[in-house]
Amino acid sequence: MADPLDPAQSVAEQAATIPGDGQWPVWEVFTQSEEGAPHEHAGSVHATDAEHALQNARDVYARRGEVISLWVVPSAAITASTRGDAGPFFDPGADKAYRHPQFYKVPRGVRGL
């Protein structure tokens, strides 16, 4: 299937790729629950463009008043690591004690470090 988010595609191509029984592209929704909190993944919605995705995300994921900000991202735009990547990606981080402050000794009585 052609990429429905590619702006270079012609209208005719687009119309051909998304018939009535096909579906609108999927967008991932991230919600922020309070000032200063990170945006967290809430789920996804189907929508035809960014404004539409934002409105659908608002109606689906913010209807209980626990959200103060929303992000929507085309699912196709997300690149994720795989479980196969996990060893080479993340295990090497586990033994780098020098990245943590506790690794370093500080003379007694010195404050503000």
Partner 1 sequence: MTAPSVLPPPPPAPHDELELLLRLGDDRLVLGHRLSEWCGHAPILEEDIALANVALDLLGQATMLLRRAGEVEGKGRDEDALAYWREAVEFRNCLLVEQPNGDFAFTMARQFLFDVYAVVTLDAVSRSTNAELAAIAAKALKEAKYHVRHSGEWMLKLGDGTDESHRRVQGALDELWRFTPELFAADDVAARLAAEGIGPDLPALRAHWHELVHDVVERATLTLPHESSHTPHLNGGRAGMHSEHLGHLLAEMQIVARSHPGAKW
Partner 2 sequence: MTQTRTAPQDDPAKVAEFEARIAAGQSIEPKDWMPERYRRQLIRMMSQHAHSEIVGMLPEGNWITRAPSLRRKISLIAKVQDEAGHGLYIYCGTETLGVDRAELIQQLLDGTAKYSSIFNYPTLSWADIGVIGWFVDGAAIVNQTVLAKASYGPYARAMIRICKEENFHKRQGYEIVATLANGTSAQKAMVQDAVNRWWWPSLMMFGPSDANSPNTAELIKWKVKRRTNDELRQRFVNLTVPQAAAVNLTLPDPDLAYDTESENWSFGRIDWDEFNQVLRGNGPCNRERLAARRKAHDDGAWVREAASAYAAKQRAKQASEAA
CB 2 → partner 1: shortest distance, Å?
Answer: 19
| Residue among 2 and 68 whose Cβ is closer to partner 2 | 2
CB 80 → partner 2: shortest distance, Å?
Answer: 6
Count H helices, E strands: the chain?
3, 3
Q: Which does 83 bind (CB under 5 to 8 A by kind): partner 1, partner 2, none?
A: partner 2
CA dist 91 and 6 (Å) reads 36
CB 60 → partner 1: shortest distance, Å?
Answer: 5
| Residue 41, H or E segment | strand 40-46
